Amino acid sequence: MNLFDYTRADTLGAAVGAEGALLAGGTNLLDLMKIGVATPSRLVDVTRLPLSQIEDHGGGLRIGAMVRNADLARHPQVLARFPAVAEALLSGASAQLRNAATTGGNVMQSTRCSYFMDPLSPCNRREPGTGCSAIGGETRNHAILGWTSGCIATHPSDLCVALAAFDAVVEIAGPAGTREVPMATFHPLPDANGVPPALAAGEVITHIRLPDPGGMARHARYVKLRERTSFAFAIVSAAAGIAVQDNRIVAARLALGGVAARPWRSTGAEAALLGQPPIETNFARAAELALQGAAPSGNNAAKIVLARRIAVRALTLAAAGTPDRMPALPASVFEGDDHG
């Protein structure tokens, strides 16, 4: 690990415009520093910023960037209004990591592309213009949507998939003032030479805002395919919400995880569901639309099939309704409502 300065910002004013890498839970940044992928000369500890509140916001919620993942997942209003957000959180990492990791840090975490994580492999995401080593390599975990010859990495977050599905907005404070970006487009997609930064220099995520979910509050699920039952990144995942009146879908949300450099929200699929009965054939058609344009970035064509099927699964489970209690195995494909 390189030598670095450590400073702490106790006020938002001190954090905004500060030079250096922002350090929150450190569950990703410190790992990257240890393996030489991140070599900041200065760390700015933002964990003491007064951003640890979860506030009511017109039927929705406004979540401080420093709220810990574990606290967010167990918050009564999150469980009541955004159960898929809680389920996504609880399906990620481990209890210890969730105790440390923050909401803002989760959004800002880096891809786990093994070539990005290997300082010896050229990587446009690390150093623009050097090329993408993943192409032609081991690509089982790589993108099937939105990738370019410049980068085929995926975003690893579970939380962001659920946030993107439920119209979350990222509130950002910067030297030039504040701005807002929808979660679904917050993470830039790659171009041919790399990936633009999501935040400009000196910017800080302050809050994540979730609008009123309406009738979807009790019809929301997150489902995650993975090789082991916990502590594994998604092969593919999906967050879905459905509101139904008189057997017709009046609102639908769908986002996929593990498929692209950002959570892959599909408004086209959502629009196609409106006015339709909540039945599997309609979900399958929506899933087709969600995967429109999907292409393998290597030896990962199976992910296209899996992504389509997990989208159908998430929509089906959402239509069936959120369980009253968080499943013992959150987001597990084995925790359905029709077996036992």
Chain positions contacting other proteins, by CB under 8 A: 1-3, 34-36, 112, 114-115, 118, 120-121, 133, 136-138, 225-233, 235, 302-303, 305-306, 309-310, 312-313, 329, 333-334, 336, 338-340
Nearest Cα to Cα of residue 173 among 203, 212, 152, 150: 203
Using the minimum distance from each CB to other proteins, give the nearer residue, 228 or 325.
Answer: 228
Q: How far is the CB of 98 from other proteins (least distance, A)?
A: 15
Answer whether 65's CB lies under 8 Å from 71's CB.
Answer: no
Cβ of residue 212: shortest distance to other proteins, in angstroms? 32
Rounded CA gap, 223 and 88, in Å?
8
Q: How far is the CB of 95 from other proteins (least distance, A)?
A: 11
Q: For the CB of residue 306, give the shortest distance to other proteins in the complex, in Å.
A: 6
* CB 137 to other proteins: min, Å: 5
Encoded tokens for 235 = 């092969």
Q: Nearer to other proteins by C-beta: 64 or 258?
A: 258
Residue with tokens 């909401």: 103
Q: Which is nearer to other proteins, 60 or 156 (CB)?
A: 156
Nearer to other proteins, 79 or 333 (CB): 333
Interatomic CA distance for residues 165 and 255, integer angstroms: 5
> Within 82-224, where are the H helices?
83-90, 95-100, 103-108, 159-165, 183-186
Structure tokens at 300: 């990962």
Give the C-alpha distances (Å, rounded to integers) separating 316 from 101, 207, 301: 31, 31, 24
Q: Which is nearer to other proteins, 2 or 247 (CB)?
A: 2
